[in-house]
Structure 1
Amino acid sequence: MKLIHICGPWPLCTNTFLLVSAAGHAVAIDPAARAQNYLDQLSQAGATLTDIFLTHGHYDHVGGVAELRRRTGAKVHLDLADAKGDQMYPLTPDLIDSPWPAGNSEYAVDELRFQIWHTPGHTPGGVVIGCGNQLFCGDTLFSGSCGRTDLEGGDTAALVRSLSMVAELPLPDETQVYPGHESFTTLGRERRSNPCLRGEWF
């Protein structure tokens, strides 16, 4: 698998990713940058985009989705709770080809095995996405902190429950954590020192 990091536009600088399988099929996670940025990387890798995985529906995580879907035919995956079609949650249900099912689930693209865990709190439809030794957390978990809950759809009690679940995921401490913003970290580091995962934040 090849992992490509693409930074979204300033000032929010969302962390977004392309994961490319050995067979040349790719998944975009939270494509917030211009669609052409991803298309250029796909061309360089000789890869075809098959899926777009969204950790949640906020505007700063979905900016490239509609054009990528139009130009590649990739299937868009998002919890429909975050498909509201407004300023904060711009995607509409008709753009979601494969909603994340209720509860936790699994998804495969060639040898890539994805685990989807629902983590409401920052938004109603938030998820974190595991693939091998990597965990893509969107705005649920940051290095040393967690997502805010004072925006539309935020729920502090739900986020506390979600973070408790993330702390107990059946993943080793060396799992690489890729938050939606700012620096990357490891799950072990966050388990040891992040007050949000230690139940000390709220």
Structure 2
Amino acid sequence: MKIFHIQASMPLCTNTFLLIGEQGHAVVIDPNAPAQRYLELLQQQNAQLVAVLLTHGHYDHMGAVAQLREKTGASLMMSQLDASPHMDERLFPPVHDVTCYTDGEKFCIDDMEFQVIATPGHTSGSVCLLCGGNLFSGDTLFCGEIGRTDLETGSMVQMNASLRKLAALGLDDDTRVLPGHGPFSTMGKEKEANYYLSAALEDQL
């Protein structure tokens, strides 16, 4: 598996990721950079995009979704809770033909196995995606911080429960935390230095 980090432009600088499996099938996580950047990289790697995976349904994580699907025919996967047509379209752009995650679901693309971890709090449909020692944490867990909970469908009560859930997974300290914004980290560093996650760990004792 190859992982490419593609950062979207300022001011939001969303971290987006292109993952390519051993047989040349690829997925993109939270694509918000210009679609052409992903398409050029796919061409360079002789890879085929088969799925777009969203950690949640906010506009700053999905700006290239429509164009990538049009150009490649890739499927779209996200939580049904963030795909509702009743959301504020300024935050949650409308989506169509969605394959919906279920909590704990595992699926494979080439040599890449993904596990879906429902982590509501930033939005009701937020998930983290675990793949090969990498936790794609969206806007749930940041380096030293957590996602905001004051936007539509956000909830600090749910966020605290989600952090306790992540803490209870027993992920190795060297599991990489690849968030939706900001620098990368590891679970070990976050357990030690992230107040919110360390508080969740204490709740497990």
- Same topology, TM > 0.5: yes
Q: Which amino acid aligns with 1:9?
A: S
Show the counterpart of 2:100.
99
Show the counterpart of 1:124.
124
What are the within-5 Å matches in structure 2 for residues 10-159 of structure 1? 10-85=10-85, 86-92=89-95, 94-96=96-98, 98-101=99-102, 103-159=103-159
Shift of 1:91: 2.9
Runs of 4+ deviating beyond 6 Å: none
Shift of 1:133: 1.0
Which has the higher mean CA deviation after the structures are superposed, 57-66 or 190-199? 190-199
Tell me how far apart the structure 2 counterparts of residues 34 and 13 of structure 1 sit (CA, whole Å). Answer: 12
Which has the higher mean CA deviation after the structures are superposed, 117-126 or 83-92? 83-92
Q: Find the residue that maps to 2:67 and give its secondary structure.
A: helix
Tell me how far apart the structure 2 counterparts of residues 75 and 7 of structure 1 sit (CA, whole Å). Answer: 22
What number of residue pairs does the alignment pair up?
A: 197
Segments of 5+ residues of structure 1 without an aligned counterpart are: none
Tell me how far apart the structure 2 counterparts of residues 174 and 162 of structure 1 sit (CA, whole Å). Answer: 20
Tell me how far apart the structure 1 counterparts of residues 81 and 94 of structure 2 sit (CA, whole Å). Answer: 11
Shift of 1:84: 3.7
Tell me how far apart the structure 2 counterparts of residues 191 and 147 of structure 1 sit (CA, whole Å). Answer: 16
1:124-164, CA deviations, whole angstroms, 9 ceiling, x for partnerless residues?
Answer: 10000001111100000000010000111111100000011
Shift of 1:110: 1.0
CA contact (8 A) 1:24 1:48 kept: yes
Q: Find the residue that maps to 2:166 and give its secondary structure.
A: helix
Shift of 1:34: 1.2
Show the counterpart of 1:181.
181
Q: TM-score, normalised by structure 1?
A: 0.94
Q: TM-score, normalised by structure 2?
A: 0.93
Tell me how far apart the structure 2 counterparts of residues 104 and 91 of structure 1 sit (CA, whole Å). Answer: 25
- Aligned-pair identity in percent equals 47
Shift of 1:12: 0.3
CA RMSD of aligned residues (A): 1.1
Segments of 5+ residues of structure 2 without an aligned counterpart are: 201-205
Shift of 1:168: 2.0
